[in-house]
Copies of this chain bind each other. A is one copy, B any other.
């Protein structure tokens, strides 16, 4: 089976159906393993998030969910988002107040996010050297890490070569 992380370098012309089915498959699998429910609503929200590699806003998700769930309210979305974040299936992009699918939910979390200002796509990278430098820096500061948000804004390679 192809792992999500093997698709790390997606181009603008990649087969996105593959991204989606892989993400949803992995999500279902992880939820089964963990004994938690990927309910209809949660599955729908995750699918909506995976419509692209862009980060999506909560109220935009709400608008897109309503045709499928007539009773959807802000709480509906935020509950689903909370669940998906807890399960490591999506990331919250702090600097955008938005949410993006995680391409390595079966592996290490808290990666580095490269966020393109032009195409708005978010690329998630393990960036092992950055992480180890970060660990060393924290160690020197006597700081115990609980969580990280590493968000880099700029222009992606696709956009800069166009």
Residues of A within 8 A of B (CB): 94-95, 112, 114, 116-117, 123, 125, 127, 129-130, 132-134, 136-138, 141-157, 160-161
Number of copies: 2
Q: What residue in chain B is nearest A143 (Cβ atoms)?
A: B114
* Complex alpha-carbon distance, A116 and B141, angstroms: 12
Q: Which listed residue (B95, B123, B142) contacts A160, Cβ 8 A?
A: B142
* Residue of A117, A143, A144, A146 most packed against chain B (CB within 10 A): A143
* Complex alpha-carbon distance, A146 and B118, angstroms: 12
Contact A130 B141 (CB under 8 A): no
Contact A148 B151 (CB under 8 A): yes
Contact A112 B137 (CB under 8 A): yes
Instruction: Using known A-B contacts A95-B94, A134-B130, determine if residue A147 contacts B141 with beta carbons closer than 8 Å.
Output: no
